[in-house]
Amino acid sequence: MNKIKTEEEIALMRENGMLVSKTLAEVGRHIVPGVTTLELDALAETFIRDHGAVPAFLGYNGFPYSLCISVNSVVVHGFPGDYRLKEGDIVSVDCGTKYKGYFGDSAYTFGVGQVSQAAEHLMQTTRESLYKGIEKAVAGNRIGDIGAAVQNYVEARGFSVVREMVGHGIGSNLHESPDVPNYGRPGQGKHLEEGMVICIEPMINQGGCGVYLERDGWTLRTADNKNSAHYELTVVIRKQQAEILSTFAFIEGKTI
């Protein structure tokens, strides 16, 4: 169960949120045509360890890398490798940290150089849908309120929601209950209580919602080979407005 976190626990998770956010920004600075995804993975691992933490994904259930790097039609859990990013690619980077016994988790989709208008629209809509979900992450609401907000926003714009992968609780474990789907019905699902900490992470496809798992047992790709985008933030359920523990500010050059 996702136990209610104390303010001391939340403070430790806030530190993880800042570190995972800074790691994504550091990776983002190196996302240019010609870089390999394995080079990005090594950079992230070094950055995390240099800050006294460990990569949360490395070895998690056998996952062999520090980052999930998912290019174009890969939805999530892509393996870093020898692939060199090309102009016009979109690349979703999912990163986790473990520091002082607690976890941080965040994801962001980057454009490589100049991307198509369609890809830009997909990324923008997915990012905006995340914040629509976060608006519903307040005490007294239900899990279904979050999913419905995401689903309604993206489907109204012609995109589709991946059903097979969902957000999750987080704390002293990387994945805790409850599951946080990006689809649903308002007023349905688990009650949200103040002090719960969850990861909301829309995974949105340009085409249909169908996906398939590649032979490596991890890489999830769109069935129609169209692009997919993924954004994730860690939030604390509060009474009036969710507190966001990770941030895109470092990536987007904003002050916090």
Note the pLDDT tens digit of each residue in 110-141.
Answer: 999 999 999 999 999 999 999 999 999 999 99
**CA dihedral defined by 78, 220, 161, 171, rounded to 10 degrees?**
-60
Q: Is residue 148 in a domain?
A: yes
Q: What is the DSSP string of 52-121?
A: T-EESSTTGGG--SSEEEEETTEEE-PPP-SPBP-TT-EEEEEEEEEETTEEEEEEEEEE-SS--HHHHH
Looking at residue 235, what is its pLDDT? 98
Q: How many domains, in total, are found in the chain?
A: 1
Quickly state the pLDDT bin for 254 (edges 50, 70, 90). confident
Q: Is residue 69 in a domain?
A: yes
Note the pLDDT tens digit of each residue in 144-191.
Answer: 999 999 999 999 999 999 999 999 999 999 999 999 999 999 999 999
Letter string b/e over residues 189-223, b meaning 16 or more CB atoms within 10 A of that residue's CB? bbebeebbbbbbbbbbbbbebebeeeeeebbbbbe
Q: Is residue 2 in a domain?
A: no
What number of other Cβ atoms are within 10 A of residue 180's Cβ? Answer: 24
Q: Is residue 77 in a domain?
A: yes
Q: Is residue 174 in a domain?
A: yes
Q: Is residue 1 in a domain?
A: no
Note the pLDDT tens digit of each residue in 14-69.
Answer: 999 999 999 999 999 999 999 999 999 999 999 999 999 999 999 999 999 999 99
Average pLDDT on 222-240 reads 98
The enclosing domain of 206 has a CATH number of 3.90.230.10
How far is 116 from 120, CA to CA, in rounded Å? Answer: 6
Q: What is the pTM of this model?
A: 0.97
Q: Is residue 16 in a domain?
A: yes
Q: Is residue 222 in a domain?
A: yes
Looking at residue 2, what is its pLDDT? 60
Do 106 and 28 touch, CB atoms closer than 8 A? no
Note the pLDDT tens digit of each residue in 64-103.
Answer: 999 999 999 999 999 999 999 999 999 999 999 999 999 9
End-to-end CA distance of the chain: 32
Quickly state the pLDDT bin for 256 (edges 50, 70, 90). low
Q: Sheet holding 243-244: strands in order across?
A: 176-180, 167-169, 197-200, 233-236, 243-244
List the domain range (segments joined by +) for residue 18.
Answer: 7-252
Average pLDDT on 4-21 reads 97
